[in-house]
Amino acid sequence: MADVPGTMPEKGEVAAPAFLSGGGDMGERIRGFDWSAHPFGPPATWPAALRTALSICLHSSFPTAIYWGPELRLLYNDAWAPIPADRHPWALGRQGMEVWADIWDVVGPQFDAVLRTGEGFSAYDQMLAMERNGVPRETYWNYSFTPIVDDDGAVLGVLNQGHETTAKVLTARDNRAEVERMREMVEQAPAAIALLTGQRHVITVANPAYRTLVGGREVLGKTVADALPEVVEQGFIDLLDAVRGTGVAHRATGASVWLDGADGARNEHRLDFVYQPVKDAAGNVIAIFVEATDVTDRFAAEAALRESEERLHHALGASNSVGVWDWDVKADRVHADERFARHYGVDPERAAAGQPIRAFMRNFHPDDIARVSGEINAALASGDLYSSDYRLRRPDGSWMWVNAQGRAVHDADGRAERFLGVSFDITDRKLAEEELRRTRDDRDFVFELAERMRAIGDPDDIMQAAVETLGQRLGADRVGFFRYVGAGEIEFGAGWTTSAVKPLEGRMPVATLGGWVNEHLEAGELLVTDDSRADPNWRDTVFPKIGMAAGVGVPMRRWDRLEGGLYVHQAEPRKWTSEEIGLIEEVAQLSWDAMGRAEAVAELRLRNESLREEVEERTAERDRIWDVSQDLLLVSDTAGVWLAVNPALTTMLGWEPEDVIGRTSEWMEHPDDRAATRAEVAQLAIGETTFGFVNRFRARNGGYRTISWTAVTIEDRIYATGRDVTAEEEQRAELARSEQRTRLALSAINGVGTWTYRPDIDLFRCDTNFARLYGVDPTDGARGIPIEGAFRRIEPDDLVRLKALIAKSHNRPGDAQIEYRVIQEDGSVAWVLSRTNTSIGEGGTRVVTGVAVDITEQRRLEETLRQSQKMEAVGQLTGGLAHDFNNMLTGISGALEMMQLRIGQGRASEVPRYIDAAQGAAKRAAALTHRLLAFSRRQTLDPRPVDPGPLITGLEEIIRRAVGPAHDIGIDIHDGVWRTRVDPNQLENALLNLCINARDAMPEGGHIEIVASNQAVEEADARAWEMAPGDYVVLCVADEGSGMSPEVIARAFDPFFTTKPLGEGTGLGLSMIYGFARQSGGAIRIESALGKGTVMRLYLPRHHGADAKGAAEGDAQIIPRPGRGRSVLVVDDEPTVRMLVTEQLAELGYSAIEAADGAGALAILGSQAVIDLLVTDVGLPGGMNGRQVAEAARMVRPELKVLFVTGFAEQSVLADGELPPGMGVMTKPFTMDVLAARIDALVSG
């Protein structure tokens, strides 16, 4: 420790002022301290406040210290000296923060507050982590800080008084724990037990027997006087006070206690009870333990016993009494009945005559003799009830427990002269107590094992820990696990053995276990044998041969499937107790669950690794897309400086990447577009998104190309794609010129005019002629007005029909027309035929285009106008598809070119990867085509009766894997859900897509609910939902995600519309589901609001017919077999398809005949040629489609098998949704092996 000025001289060296007189050891040390070199200076100069405070301190018997001055230097008395322990007496005169460095973070701020505010401070049971003997200790204190002030009120120091409460706090903590343990133990006790705390005896514990004794009253938390007022006048409160005051237990036998019953009547009870004081470590009474036995009946029996000795013996014979005894203490002669004598090992005749007490102690357990002797002597001296539990040896050598109760009778001098009593057999009670202890030990064992397994990550280590711990706990010879593996075998896993048996390792056929054992394991039943060699079910099995004399087997099941088991073997016969079997089962299930969790974690780790590899693969694919894309792909900074660009730059504009990297595009931009382009880049720099921005770039050849841009800013980079729309812009300009010509033509033939309408923003635009006829200002008509402004002159009777048509036609794509009257300015009436076309543009925007003409003069223009409208709709859809199909076709053509090049170079080994690339692009194109067909309700469906419940249940695992562990799946299949007739594969795809959309709406995880129910749709709802009224199966997918705005809901089913980030969605998922629902005769509805989640309801019509018989064609995988010389007629107008199909047929051994159209096919079919199968395209040229060819063929060849192939799924093929027997349908594109399988199935069927 560092020194401070001043030294500590020997006691008594220097005389001191009077205020330092006395004070014991510390007074002498302070007087002997050399203060001259200390900051305090000589004591004679100390302030009066310090003198007074120190005098009080030294003469106080309470631990007191003074912290003086701004440095809080320390002075203290003898009572306070033990507090700093080994820092005494060094602490004298030292700074407080130096003495108490280990606790200054706690007391320092408290001192500062007293010095700063002048207010005192006190703490109770404050925890201070003090160092004692160099070791941090947890200590507790009661202390106070009192400011010492001068005459002006200035704080000069702090007076500290306090004492340590560590022992009290820790004892209280232990006592609370002990009370809780007692509470658990007594809850099941048969005796009435209660625990009373505090001076007023509050009932803090009362077991069921106690509550029954007091009539079922609520007593917890109440004082005895409040809970049981009837016992106050009987003196029991005084008795409790005496026990608490003296700390001496009180016992009573047969005491009379009057208690109020549940019926309100007061009844007398005779009780044997004890008031046992509960003391802390210091001997203080902290509670009173009450145990009472209602002996009312016994007391009456004892009264009767005194009247009739015979009745007493009969009563004792009917009870669990061991016998009665009467000890003549002075003569030391114990007289006992026959039963007592036999149990205590004394001849009954000699016992009746009287024997010394030591004769009756021969059968005592050696460990109990000294204790029981002491208890007898105490009872003789006090006259209190004697009650003692001890063990007696039975004639067979086993031990029984007895409870001996009695009381001494004293003579006039207070000396014991007789001691009478009775002994009871309490063996069952003691065994129950032992069982309770064993059960608690088993609980502790299981909890410790669970904690140990929770810390282990490896499944095998978990099982090894389980078998070792269980084997040692049970004293077994062999414990282990096994699993069921393939090919009818079991494999032994983790195991533990003693030297008595050999371990089980490797694999074993399941049949080796024996039929009886396997039958019970499959049924999930526990297997137990105490002696396998004597048990007829076991002795002929393999188990006695492997050293198992006794054993227990626990089957392990997961997902209602037997997967393994736990075995416990003993080398010698053993009687398994129910408790041991229960422990084995519990450990088995605990370890099996722990292993399952560990395996799940390991699987998740593997999946993460697989995901990493998939990311790498997709990154490589993205790089390939960068290289082969025909669209411009570029990366720039937020100032527009190009950082990277793909090779399409050279293809589109002729520039090389080095021409543009490190520069902005201003030098390439058309002068008229430069300002707009700079403004668009500036918007991107602040986080806006660009979609469909069009400008012109100068090519190397001097011309300009028109480019449509889509761009987004991520962090400090702009990522953009540019599509060359030069041809489209030229087409659009030509269309505008065409429209102008149309207007001129309308003007020349008395046409009323043209207009356009955007329902989403209620914007109606019209030309000048239309505006004048309808009373609209031409300027307003060109700029746009609400549609109501165009209704002013329409005949009121016709306006109602017109508005009904608008409500119906403007909300869905298609044409509409209506005739109505317009009242002109001069009052005359003009009949107008209004034709409209509602189309969906890019992004799902609905646009209504209309023309009004004089119906008497303009009919010849109708066809031209209709064609113009169709072309506009086709142009809008083409714009949405061009980009995706260009990429896919580029991938196919590029791969084919590379294959041709590599084959020419002799590098055939590189060809497969280009084949894979081409096939991948073709499959993506096919998937896009199928989505478009689904949206247009033209996809090929294979409808059949479907029960939604099993379909959803079978799909559950796939859905869970698709949405991931962060999303909880709930499934609710209502009772009696109807069947529906749909394509089950399309229904599964629809449900999976809806669940994936729900997942994407909750990126942080959440709950997804899938519900299947029935609903009868009434006429009004059917009209609103655009579906037929009737019975429907309703499949709901609900999430708790971000929800949709009304604008998003309105466009959700539009093709190519998506709210997902660029590259994370095609925009065809919901449109495909919409098409599937419509084509299946149903509908789909959205219920959503921002921030409140989304519910998607898929309505499918109820099916009333019978189940389809047999599996649908193509359900099972068919392995093509050789054609064995059979003949197939192939009809397709596409030579490439014919060539591929015929060559594939030749490979399979079929003879193929080709025809390019229906007429050619019928000529062959009308000949004598052998034809086993007709394979025909549906869309054939020449006026005859494939279905007509098939029908004509069957007229001359009724048994002919027919396979339709189609890329459009015309309704003429499917008719009402089913094909006649012997016919099948396939959708293009398809792989050759699938075609071969379908052909073989038809020919062989």
Q: Are residues 74 and 39 in the same domain?
A: yes
**Whether residue 40 has pLDDT greater than 60:** yes
**Whether residue 310 has pLDDT greater than 70:** no
Mean pLDDT of the chain: 83
Q: Which of 407, 425, 443 is the last residue of a domain?
A: 425
Q: Are residues 444 and 559 in the same domain?
A: yes
> Span 212-234, mean pLDDT?
91
User: Which residue range forms the structural domain that includes residue 534?
Assistant: 435-603
Q: What is the pLDDT of residue 1061?
A: 63
For residues 413 and 746, which has the higher predicted lDDT (pLDDT)?
Answer: 413
Q: What is the pLDDT of residue 1068?
A: 64
Q: What is the pLDDT of residue 820?
A: 83
Residue 927 covered by a domain: no
Q: Are residues 288 and 262 in the same domain?
A: yes
What CA–CA distance (Å, rounded) separates 770 from 51?
Answer: 112
Q: Are residues 415 and 490 in the same domain?
A: no
Give the CB-side neighbour count of residue 790, counting CA atoms within 13 A. Answer: 29
**Residues 1073 and 1098: beta-carbon distance below 8 Å:** yes
**Whether residue 859 has pLDDT greater than 50:** no
pLDDT tens digits, one per residue of 941-976 = 668 899 999 999 888 888 888 788 889 999 999 999
For residues 1233 and 1195, which has the higher predicted lDDT (pLDDT)?
Answer: 1195
**Whether residue 1049 has pLDDT greater than 90:** no
Q: What is the pLDDT of residue 1114?
A: 40
Q: What is the pLDDT of residue 671?
A: 93
pTM: 0.29
- The label of the residue with tokens 């809901």 reads 1049
- For residue 1060, give the DSSP letter: S
| Amino acid (one-letter) located at 1123 | G
pLDDT-derived band at 18, boundaries 50, 70, 90: confident
pLDDT tens digits, one per residue of 1070-1121 = 777 887 888 888 999 999 888 889 999 999 999 987 654 443 444 444 444 5
What CA–CA distance (Å, rounded) separates 548 from 59?
Answer: 82
Looking at residue 237, which CATH number applies to its domain?
3.30.450.20
**Residues 213 and 294: beta-carbon distance below 8 Å:** yes
pLDDT tens digits, one per residue of 122-139 = 999 999 988 888 888 899
Residue 1167 covered by a domain: yes
Q: Give me the helices (H) in 59-120, please.
A: 96-99, 104-117
What CA–CA distance (Å, rounded) separates 168 from 1010?
Answer: 60
What CA–CA distance (Å, rounded) separates 1179 from 1133?
Answer: 9
- The label of the residue with tokens 């009173």 reads 288
Q: What is the pLDDT of residue 873?
A: 35
Residue 917 covered by a domain: no
Residue 10 covered by a domain: no
Residue 406 covered by a domain: yes
**Whether residue 311 has pLDDT greater than 70:** no
Instruction: Say how many domains are in the chain.
Output: 8
**Residues 1208 and 1233: beta-carbon distance below 8 Å:** no
For residues 1190 and 830, which has the higher predicted lDDT (pLDDT)?
Answer: 1190
Q: Which of 368, 390, 425 is the last residue of a domain?
A: 425
> Beta strand pairing status for 1173-1177 and 717-724?
unpaired
Residue 896 covered by a domain: no
pLDDT-derived band at 1008, boundaries 50, 70, 90: very high
Q: What is the pLDDT of residue 664?
A: 92
Q: Are residues 86 and 195 in the same domain?
A: no
Give 3-state DSSP helix, strand, coil % of the chain, rounded to 5: 40, 25, 30
What CA–CA distance (Å, rounded) separates 725 from 397?
Answer: 107
Q: What is the pLDDT of residue 1055?
A: 64
Q: Are residues 955 and 1072 in the same domain?
A: yes
Q: Are residues 278 and 312 in the same domain?
A: no
Residue 852 covered by a domain: yes
Q: Are residues 337 and 318 in the same domain?
A: yes
Looking at residue 520, which CATH number applies to its domain?
3.30.450.40
Q: What is the pLDDT of residue 1212?
A: 44
Cα angle: 1190, vertex 1192, 1197; to 5 degrees: 85
Any idea how long the chain is? 1245
Kindly calculate the radius of gyration of the chain based on its CA atoms and give it in whole angstroms: 50
Q: Are residues 24 and 158 in the same domain?
A: yes
Q: Are residues 780 and 666 in the same domain?
A: no
> Span 412-421, mean pLDDT?
88
Residue 577 covered by a domain: yes
CA torsion 359-363-367-372 (nearest 10°) is: -50
Which residues partner with 294 through β-bridges?
271
What CA–CA distance (Å, rounded) separates 973 from 656?
Answer: 62
Q: Are residues 983 and 1094 in the same domain?
A: yes
Q: What is the pLDDT of residue 259?
A: 92
* CA-based end-to-end distance of the chain: 104
Q: In Å, how far from its chain's centre is CA 782?
A: 58
Tokens standing for residue 391? 């063990």
Tokens standing for residue 322? 């061991």
What CA–CA distance (Å, rounded) separates 206 from 221?
Answer: 10
Classify the C-alpha dihedral 969-974-976-978 as positive or negative. Answer: negative
| Amino acid (one-letter) located at 133 | N
**Residues 543 and 504: beta-carbon distance below 8 Å:** no
Q: Are residues 158 and 193 in the same domain?
A: no
